[in-house]
Amino acid sequence: MEKQELNIKIAERIVHYRKSLDLSQEDLGALLDVSKQNIQMIESGKRNPGTFLLRKIAKALGVTLSELLEGI
């Protein structure tokens, strides 16, 4: 799987969980202490969040890292 394709699949999962909690990108950014623009870049697949931030995202979304990455 190509890196860009992987980023997009991760992004789709983040968007899914964020929306299921009725959180805006700004809300998620505030929980993670990152900007809305940073969240936009991650959710568009243009930025790889890295392992540390992925763990923080999963925690903020109330899922495990394994659940966030399930099926990818």
Residue with the bigger pLDDT between 1 and 32: it is 32
Q: Are 68 and 57 in contact (CB under 8 A)?
A: yes
Which CATH fold topology does 3-67 show?
Answer: 434 Repressor (Amino-terminal Domain) (1.10.260)
pLDDT at 13: 97
Cα separation, 63 vs 72, in Å, equals: 15
Listed by start position, the domains of the chain span 3-67
Question: What is the pLDDT averaged over residues 61-68?
Answer: 97
Q: Which of 26, 39, 56 is nearest to 68 (CA)?
A: 56
Residue with the bigger pLDDT between 1 and 60: it is 60
Q: How many CB atoms lie within 10 A of CB 72?
A: 11
Is the pTM above the cut of 0.85?
yes
Q: Are 15 and 43 in contact (CB under 8 A)?
A: yes
pLDDT in tens, 14-56: 999 999 999 999 999 999 999 999 999 999 999 999 999 999 9
